Amino acid sequence: MTDNKPVRVPDIIAMKARGESVTVLTAYDATMAGIFDQAGIDILLVGDSLGMVLHGEENTLDVSMEDMIRHTRAVRRGTRRALVVADMPFLSYQASFPEAIRNAGRLLQKGGAAAVKIEGGATMTLLVERLTSIGIPVMGHLGLLPQSVHQVGGFRRQGSEKNARNKLIAEAIALEEAGAFSIVLECIPDDLAEEITRQVRVPTIGIGAGPHCDGQVLVSYDMLGMTEKTPPFVKKYAQLGKAMTEAALAFAKDVKARAKK
Ligand code: KIV
């Protein structure tokens, strides 16, 4: 979508019906959000990946509600048009429905998000139903679930065996039926993502799941070439890490030489 009207949840669902791809990038601050927003990206995802790319953690488990609210508010301030979706961090939605509802509500009320994303399939459908029934839009997330990194033994590709494939297809359908407005498919085989995309009416947003999804998401620091270790499926659209190193070196040289601007 390229006009200047703010993107709403129903617009995202309508894009699939029109056969239009959904563009999603992660954003964590107002400046980067403003740049992506002006480029016409449809959804800015305040991912809990911020624990890794901003805070240098090994995984996303240490990210708190306070982290998410603060970064979501920053992204919201930098955004005019894109739909802002905030990740619910680990343990903010798994312990009980009341706690999950309150935390999801805080991401909308205090963070200014328009929707939340939660990881998981069968175990999350009741929660998705509850949240959407009270007006909190939910993006689902299936396949590799970074918050379950210890359970699955690392950041590994999912859905390769027959049972796992069938389970993922059933979970995607269940999430759609529970009211999710879109579903992230992370690190699953291309043909499985294609099959899920065919079977659900809401947009699938792929990351490491091939070209047949209704949209694609990447972690912005990865695709901008700012992170050293990136998953093999990431295409780097810029080499900002290299450009930043060169800028810092040039700055240091000027300072040492006491050069005038
Ligand atoms: O946290 C995140 O950035 C995500 C995307 C990788 C989908 O969940």
Per-residue pLDDT tens over the stretch 145-175 = 999 999 999 999 999 999 999 999 999 999 9
Is 204 a member of any domain? Answer: yes
Q: What is the DSSP letter of 261?
A: -
Is 73 a member of any domain? Answer: yes
**What is the rounded average pLDDT of the residues 112-140?**
98
If pLDDT is split at 50, 70 and 90, which confidence band does 1 have? Answer: low
Q: Count of domains in the chain?
A: 1
Q: What sections of the chain are H helices per DSSP? A: 9-18, 30-38, 50-53, 65-78, 97-109, 125-133, 149-152, 162-178, 190-199, 220-223, 240-256
Q: What share of the chain is helix, strand, coil (3-state, %, to 5)?
A: 45, 15, 40
Is 233 a member of any domain? Answer: no
Q: Is the CB of 72 under 6 A from ligand 1?
A: no
Residue 246 is among the residues annotated as catalytic for this protein: no
Distance 51 CA to ligand 1 centre (A): 11
Is 201 a member of any domain? Answer: yes
What integer pLDDT is reported at residue 32 of this predicted model?
Answer: 98
Is 242 a member of any domain? Answer: no
Q: Is the CB of 47 under 6 A from ligand 1?
A: yes
Taking 90 as the threshold, does the pLDDT of residue 6 lie above it?
Answer: yes
Taking 70 as the threshold, does the pLDDT of residue 242 lie above it?
Answer: yes
Rg over CA atoms, the chain: 19
Please state, in angstroms and rounded to a whole number, the distance separating the CA atoms of residues 245 and 226. 10
- The neighbouring-strand residues paired with 83 are 43
Q: Is the CB of 209 under 6 A from ligand 1?
A: no
Domain span including residue 79: 9-223
Is 57 a member of any domain? Answer: yes
Taking 80 as the threshold, does the pLDDT of residue 224 lie above it?
Answer: yes
If pLDDT is split at 50, 70 and 90, which confidence band does 261 have? Answer: confident
- The neighbouring-strand residues paired with 34 are none
Taking 80 as the threshold, does the pLDDT of residue 42 lie above it?
Answer: yes
Atom 1 of ligand 1: nearest residue by CA position? 47
Atom 6 of ligand 1: nearest residue by CA position? 219
What integer pLDDT is reported at residue 260 of this predicted model?
Answer: 87
Taking 90 as the threshold, does the pLDDT of residue 3 lie above it?
Answer: no
